[in-house]
Amino acid sequence: MWSSDPTPLNRRQFWAWPLAGAAVLGVPAGLAGQAGRVQVWVSDTGGAQGEVIGHLRNLWGAQVQLEVQPVPPLPALPGEARLHLTLGVRPLAELAAQVQRQPGAWTAPVLAALLPEAAYVLLARSLPAGSSGVWLDQPPERYLSLIQQVMPRRRRVGVLFGPATAALEPALDRAASDRQLVLVKSRVQEDTPNLFPLLRNLLADSDVLLALPEPSIYNAATLQNILIATYRQRIPVVSYAESHVRAGATLSLFTTPQVVARQVVAASRTLWLAGALPAPMYAASGTVAVNEQVARSLGLDVPNPEALQRMLAGEFR
């Protein structure tokens, strides 16, 4: 009997794309004094947020004064920070609420990280001018390239769109057309009473299911049943979360805390040098995890990490 959490999980993980400019991170010589203090807003000093903070301390060293601000308590004054960095959705929401209460007190820009694009877009209007974001999301075309390389005979890619991912549909349409893939699409509304009839109809016409970061669809209450349903239909799941591979998805393409930290430092370097943060951005690189037990049971011959990395290396330079 298939288990949603195979033990032991034979997982292969690797850097699929190099991070552009990784060798020139940090605060340029002569600008350390201008960099000053970065106030980091977190809801948890452990987990992924703690990992990002640890990487930031290593990358910035003594050049930047890193001040961690847990939320709540509220209120907190903006102080003299040159940059406000939020890690996760809740800290950004808390900070945005404070900005709305005291808009004149917030002059330093906000860099929101460790959160999906949809959450950032929802709150961005409440942030000070010049704010930006480093999203966890991988560009949609990367998922389709991964599917194309690992499962070249599976041409029909099923996608469930919801309120948070509806904006990704045009980009996925273009990427699928460029790769001669067919998107089999279904839309889940916020008031959809049961998504499983939609999922069943979608799987009937699909060769693979692409799971996008849609919390109304993929959450603790639904994930297990979705993975069971796809496995019974012998449909591989390609996901955005490493934890989904541990739960039984075939592949995932995700962003690590180290990549988030490197992009935060690179964005801050632009602020120190040019006086402004860059535009909001997708993850600069991705890591692939493979559930080899599930892949074998579905008859998939997944390339080894080195071969798959070579296949994908030139895709996103």
Cα three-residue angle 261-147-9, rounded to 5 degrees: 70
- Per the CB < 8 A criterion, the answer to whether 135 and 107 are in contact is no
Query: Taking 80 as the threshold, does the pLDDT of residue 116 lie above it?
Result: yes
More confident residue, 314 or 166: 166
Residue 145 class from Cβ within 10 Å (0-12 exposed, 13-18 middle, 19+ buried)? buried
Q: What's the full length of the chain, in residues?
A: 317
Range of the domain at 133: 20-137+256-274
More confident residue, 74 or 211: 211
In a domain, 279, yes or no: no
Strand, helix or coil for residue 69: strand
Distances, alpha carbon 3 to alpha carbons 211, 225, 294, in Å: 20, 12, 9
Query: Taking 70 as the threshold, does the pLDDT of residue 62 lie above it?
Result: yes
Which residues sit opposite 84 in a β-bridge? Answer: 39, 110
Tokens of 308: 């798959």
Tell me the per-residue pLDDT of 231-245, one tens digit each, with 9 for 90 and over. 999 999 999 999 999
Verify that 75 and 118 share a domain, yes or no.
yes
The CATH number assigned to the domain holding 56 equals: 3.40.50.360
Give the pLDDT score at 7: 33
- Per the CB < 8 A criterion, the answer to whether 87 and 113 are in contact is yes
- Per the CB < 8 A criterion, the answer to whether 107 and 240 are in contact is no
In a domain, 9, yes or no: no
Verify that 25 and 82 share a domain, yes or no.
yes
Please tell me the total count of domains within the chain.
Answer: 2
Using CA atoms, how far apart are residues 101 and 75, in angstroms rounded to an integer? 10
Give the pLDDT score at 104: 82
Give the pLDDT score at 17: 40
From 4-18, 48-62, 180-194, 299-313, the region with the lowest mean pLDDT: 4-18
Verify that 119 and 265 share a domain, yes or no.
yes
Which residues sit opposite 12 in a β-bridge? Answer: 290
Give the pLDDT score at 23: 39
Verify that 151 and 125 share a domain, yes or no.
no
Average pLDDT, the chain: 84
Per DSSP, helices labelled H in 125-251 are 140-150, 169-178, 196-204, 223-232, 242-247
Q: Which helix (H) or strand (E) holds 202?
A: helix 196-204
Give the pLDDT score at 21: 42
Distances, alpha carbon 306 to alpha carbons 15, 30, 71, in Å: 10, 40, 42
What percent of the chain has a predicted confidence (pLDDT) above 90?
A: 62
Verify that 166 and 119 share a domain, yes or no.
no
The CATH number assigned to the domain holding 222 equals: 3.40.50.2300
In a domain, 247, yes or no: no
Using CA atoms, how far apart are residues 48 and 54, in angstroms rounded to an integer? 10
More confident residue, 104 or 16: 104
Verify that 70 and 107 share a domain, yes or no.
yes
Verify that 223 and 158 share a domain, yes or no.
yes
In a domain, 297, yes or no: no
Tell me the per-residue pLDDT of 99-113, one tens digit each, with 9 for 90 and over. 998 888 888 999 999
Residues of 192-223 as b/e, b for ≥16 C-beta within 10 angstroms? eeebeebbeebbeebbbbbbbbbbbbbeeeeb
- Per the CB < 8 A criterion, the answer to whether 206 and 196 are in contact is no
In this prediction, residue 15 has a pLDDT band, given cuts at 50, 70 and 90, of very low
Verify that 42 and 189 share a domain, yes or no.
no
> How far does the chain reach from its first CA to its final CA, in angstroms?
42
In a domain, 36, yes or no: yes
In a domain, 184, yes or no: yes
Verify that 216 and 145 share a domain, yes or no.
yes
Mean pLDDT of 9-30: 44
Tokens of 286: 């991705």
Verify that 131 and 143 share a domain, yes or no.
no
In a domain, 269, yes or no: yes
Verify that 152 and 191 share a domain, yes or no.
yes
Verify that 166 and 270 share a domain, yes or no.
no
In a domain, 290, yes or no: no
Owner of token pair 């040019």:
274
